[in-house]
């Protein structure tokens, strides 16, 4: 994916720019992601914090209640006019989870794996060679980042 | 999992947003469930497509909170009204003026894991990596038959899963 990448919300009030290489792209099939996107999964693009900035408008933040035992607060950032979720921000993490479908150029998106597939909707067809995790990866997302890097350099 | 092993989705059923501020109830049988791959649904949803459940207008009601209205023009050119939670932004329902049904954003239903769409619309803008079940109904743009085929397939699926 070529830098910089730009994107925004549905109504155009919020625009953002990505200036550093994303670390990975995966689909999250957790129940929270289904609810958040009103769909079957979310598409998460992990972007280094210093490589992401808002160009126009500012998001509204709310704290996402966690079902898990994770201790760090996680904020959802969305447009207060159209509701579009732009990113989820777990405080203290070096990267943001940007909602990849907010990017202007979605044709180049190709996720390398799927997490929380134990709650995935039955009908979703996964690629056999994708990385598949029943829950969250327990390797710090290392394999997903490695696969992404290999795909980007292919 | 084979289709026979999965029960039909039962109604009435409630749903709501991520923060719990807005809740709704679907009180009658939906008439279809499909995935929409249009550019608006991708931009708004944070995913590769939206899941749209057609529900007769009288069979849907907000039961908690005050949803916020957002007006937009769909890829089809139709004027649509989106309703979302003011506190977490989650889109819950779309209302196209003049239609007898509204579309529930189905991922917000309680027990969304049981959803089984019967088709895909606006696949001309679908993300390249998406794979479709061969038996699903596939439309390059919006269906031109008033969604009749999607409704028939959904009714058949609900009947066969219930049986």
CATH number at residue B69: 3.90.1590.10
Classify residue A106 by its DSSP letter.
-
Nearest CA-CA partner of B51 in B27, B68, B33, B74: B33
Cα dihedral across residues B149, B150, B154, B157: positive or negative? positive
Q: Work out the pLDDT band at B2, boundaries 50, 70, 90.
A: very low
Identify the pLDDT of residue A5.
Answer: 96
Place of tokens 């999965």: B6
Nearest CA-CA partner of B46 in A42, A82, A120, A60: A42
Q: How far apart are CA A112 and CA A78, in angstroms?
A: 25
Q: Is the CB of B107 less than 8 angstroms away from the CB of A84? A: no
Q: Is the CB of A78 less than 8 angstroms away from the CB of B89? A: yes
Does residue B161 lie within any of the structural domains? no
Start-to-end Cα distance in chain B: 17
> pTM value?
0.92
Q: Which residues of A126-147 are buried (b: 16+ CB within 10 A; e: fewer)?
A: eeeebbebeeebeeebeebbeb
pLDDT in tens, B58-77: 999 999 999 999 999 988 88
Q: Is the CB of A76 less than 8 angstroms away from the CB of B88? A: yes
Q: Which domain holds residue B81?
A: 11-153
User: Percent of chain A at pLDDT above 70?
Assistant: 97
Residues of B in contact with A85 (CB under 8 A): 46, 89-90
Q: Is A45 on the interface with B (CB under 8 A)?
A: no
pLDDT score of B4 more than 70: no
pLDDT score of A50 more than 90: yes
Determine the distance in angstroms separating the CA of B138 from the nearest CA of chain A, rounded to an integer: 15
Q: Is A61 on the interface with B (CB under 8 A)?
A: no
Does residue B100 lie within any of the structural domains? yes
Count of structural domains within chain B: 1
pLDDT in tens, B85-136: 999 999 999 999 888 999 999 999 999 989 999 999 999 999 999 999 889 9
Q: Name the residue with higher pLDDT: B27 or A65.
A: B27
Identify the pLDDT of residue A70.
Answer: 66
Classify residue B122 by its DSSP letter.
-
Determine the distance in angstroms separating the CA of B87 from the nearest CA of chain A, rounded to an integer: 7
Q: Is the CB of B51 less than 8 angstroms away from the CB of A38? A: yes
Q: Is A64 on the interface with B (CB under 8 A)?
A: yes
| Chain A residue with Cα closest to B45 | A37
ipTM rounded to 2 decimals: 0.89
Classify residue B57 by its DSSP letter.
G
Does residue B94 lie within any of the structural domains? yes
* CATH architecture of the domain with residue range A5-153: Alpha-Beta Complex (3.90)
Q: Is the CB of A9 less than 8 angstroms away from the CB of B43? A: yes
Give whole-number Cα distances, B115 to B27, B133, B158, B160, in Å.
17, 14, 11, 15
Does residue B162 lie within any of the structural domains? no
Give chain B's length: 163
Nearest CB partner across the interface for B117, out of A31, A83, A123: A123
| Chain A residue with Cα closest to B111 | A31
Does residue B22 lie within any of the structural domains? yes
Does residue B58 lie within any of the structural domains? yes
pLDDT in tens, A92-130: 999 999 999 999 998 889 999 999 999 999 999 999 899
Nearest CB partner across the interface for A34, out of B1, B112, B117: B112
B120 torsion bin: left (phi>0), alpha (psi -120 to 50), beta (else): beta
User: 3-class SS at A134?
Assistant: coil
Does residue B163 lie within any of the structural domains? no
Residues of B in contact with A10 (CB under 8 A): 40, 43-44, 70, 72
pLDDT in tens, B12-63: 999 999 999 999 999 999 999 999 999 989 988 889 999 999 999 999 999 9
User: 3-class SS at B43?
Assistant: helix
Give whole-number Cα distances, A67 to A23, A52, A73, B18, in Å.
25, 27, 12, 12
Does residue B5 lie within any of the structural domains? no
A4's tokens: 């910089």
Number of C-beta neighbours around residue A116 at 10 A: 20
A108's tokens: 């180049």
| Residue B88 Cα to chain centre, angstroms | 19
The H or E element spanning position A97 is strand A95-99
Q: How far apart are CA A101 and CA B157, in angstroms?
A: 30
Determine the distance in angstroms separating the CA of B111 from the nearest CA of chain A, rounded to an integer: 9
Nearest CB partner across the interface for B70, out of A11, A27, A100: A11
């Amino acid at each position: 994916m070529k830098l910089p990448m730009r994107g925004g919300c549905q109504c155009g009030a919020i625009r953002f720019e990505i200036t550093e290489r994303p670390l990975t792209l995966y689909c999250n099939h957790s129940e929270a992601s289904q609810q958040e996107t009103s769909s079957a999964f979310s598409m998460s693009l992990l972007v280094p914090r210093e490589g992401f900035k808002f160009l126009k408008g500012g998001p509204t933040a709310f704290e996402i209640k966690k079902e898990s035992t994770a201790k760090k607060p996680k904020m959802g950032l969305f447009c207060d006019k159209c509701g579009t979720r732009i990113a989820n921000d777990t405080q203290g993490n070096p990267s943001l989870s940007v909602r990849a479908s907010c990017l202007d150029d979605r044709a180049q998106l190709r996720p390398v794996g799927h997490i929380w597939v134990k709650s995935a909707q039955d009908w979703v067809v996964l690629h056999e060679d994708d990385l598949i995790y029943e829950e969250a990866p327990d390797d710090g997302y290392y394999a997903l980042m490695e696969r992404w890097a290999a795909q980007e350099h292919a | 999992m084979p289709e026979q092993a999965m029960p039909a989705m039962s109604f009435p059923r409630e749903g709501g947003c991520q923060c719990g501020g807005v809740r709704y109830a679907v009180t009658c049988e939906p008439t279809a469930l499909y995935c929409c791959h249009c550019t608006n649904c991708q931009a708004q949803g944070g995913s590769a497509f939206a899941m749209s459940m057609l529900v007769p207008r009288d069979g849907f009601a907000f039961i908690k909170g005050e949803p916020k209205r957002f007006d937009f023009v769909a890829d089809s050119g139709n004027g649509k009204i989106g309703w979302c939670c003011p506190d977490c932004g989650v889109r819950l329902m779309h209302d196209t003026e003049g239609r007898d049904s509204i579309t529930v954003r189905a991922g917000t239903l309680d027990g969304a894991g049981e959803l089984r769409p019967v088709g895909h619309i606006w696949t001309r803008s679908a993300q390249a990596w998406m794979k479709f079940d061969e038996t699903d109904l596939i439309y390059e743009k919006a269906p031109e038959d008033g969604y009749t085929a999607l409704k028939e397939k959904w009714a058949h699926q609900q009947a066969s899963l219930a049986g």
